[in-house]
Amino acid sequence: MTALPTYDDVVAAAARLEGHAHRTPVLRSATADARWGAQFFFKCENFQRMGAFKFRGAFNALSRFDAAQRQAGAIAFSSGNHAQAVALSARLLGMPALILMPQDAPAAKLAATRGYGAEVVLYDRFTQDREALTQQLATERGMTLIPPYDHPDVLTGQGTAVKELIEETGPLDALYVCLGGGGLLSGSALSARALSPGCKVYGIEPEAGNDGQQSLRAGRIVHIETPRTIADGAQTQHLGQHTFAIIRRDVDDIRTVSDAQLVDAMRFFAERMKMVVEPTGGLAFAGACQDAATLPGARVGVIVSGGNVDLGRYAALLAGE
């Protein structure tokens, strides 16, 4: 592994994203502040381009391609927001993109990815080795593989959201960030350590898949089976080499919340803040609410990571089905 990226790399990423990514709003909720006794600042990445923060990392990574890489384009495997982020970034930068998606991925996600102009190659999750297939296609076509989290340019791109947040709010007492493979959490920690050194940084993951918490406790990357949770953006089996090294150094703790707490967070966002937030996007707020007794009056940053959810599924979750 090369040297770990630093906050300077986040600053460079922010310059590349200028004029391409949205500067998403930081929303407040008097109801949330009154109910939980803290001062919440919600960084709303559900309003980012393509509906999640993943645009930041993908666009940053693709903008660093040299001429030959641009010509051949980018390749990624994902059934979720990273696929759309790479597809949209490639289109904006005028390069080809190839995305491997499972045959049984939701039709809406396939359509969205194709809608951004990417070529989609389907594979069978049960019989085909996704990584081997991606590697083979990357070699055949000379395309550059962009992983969803374990890449310096991806994680420093993700870190630009918290840079914007703290530049707007000033110093925070605590920051809550959702955790899958750790791209968002590690980049956020780089920004928080630089801009608000006293701020506690917490990663929140689904209780069904607490590999990050186990890894922090064990001091090494712990692998688990794919967890069963409604937080489909955080169904990762392990942290990355780069993300873990930064998380281990800069993150205060990793905590977990249940699927029921995620639904409560989604309902709060819908009812009180009029926002559609996907299940994974509720992780950070659910974690902050759980800690509220320890945060009286504190200035608390909460990352709302995305809003891409099938509306039928969303309605069923809110109805308690």
Ligand X SMILES: *Cc1c(COP(=O)(O)O)cnc(C)c1O
Q: Catalog residues that contact ligand X under the rule CB under 6 A.
A: 52, 54, 80-81, 148-149, 158, 178-185, 233-234, 236, 278, 280-281, 305-306
From 211, 232, 259, 291, active-site residue: 211
- What string of H, E and C letters represents the secondary structure of 246-278? HHHHHCCEEEEECHHHHHHHHHHHHHHHCCCCC
> What is the smallest separation between the CB atom of 96 and ligand X, expressed in angstroms?
23
Strands (DSSP E) contained in 152-264 are 174-178, 200-206, 253-257
> What is the smallest separation between the CB atom of 184 and ligand X, expressed in angstroms?
4
> What is the smallest separation between the CB atom of 54 and ligand X, expressed in angstroms?
5
From 157, 209, 282, 307, active-site residue: 209
> What is the smallest separation between the CB atom of 311 and ligand X, expressed in angstroms?
16
Q: Is 310 a catalytic residue?
A: no
Residues 6+ apart with CB under 8 A from 199: 166, 171, 172, 173, 174, 175, 192, 301
Nearer to ligand X, 33 or 253 (CB): 253
Q: Is 291 a catalytic residue?
A: no
From 79, 89, 196, 215, active-site residue: 79
From 57, 282, 305, 306, active-site residue: 305
Express the helix, strand and coil content of the chain in percent, nearest 5 each. Answer: 50, 15, 35
> What is the smallest separation between the CB atom of 185 and ligand X, expressed in angstroms?
6
Compute the distance between CA of residue 117 and CA of residue 5 in angstroms, rounded to an integer.
31
Nearer to ligand X, 73 or 306 (CB): 306
Compute the distance between CA of residue 65 and CA of residue 127 in angstroms, rounded to an integer.
33
Amino acid letter for position 235: Q
The CB density around residue 195, as the number of other CB atoms within 10 Å, is: 19
From 205, 250, 278, 291, active-site residue: 205
User: Do the strands 39-44 and 26-27 form a parallel or antiparallel pair, or are they unpaired?
Assistant: antiparallel
Q: Is 205 a catalytic residue?
A: yes
Nearer to ligand X, 281 or 287 (CB): 281
Q: Is 54 a catalytic residue?
A: yes
Nearer to ligand X, 243 or 298 (CB): 243
Q: Are 199 and 205 in contact (CB under 8 A)?
A: no
Nearer to ligand X, 80 or 298 (CB): 80
**Whose CA is closest to 163, among 292, 13, 5?**
13
Tell me the residue number closest to ligand X, measured at CB.
306
H/E run at residue 152: helix 152-158
**Whose CA is closest to 224, among 188, 260, 181?**
181
Nearer to ligand X, 17 or 298 (CB): 17
> What is the smallest separation between the CB atom of 282 and ligand X, expressed in angstroms?
9
Active site residues: 54, 79, 205, 209, 211, 305
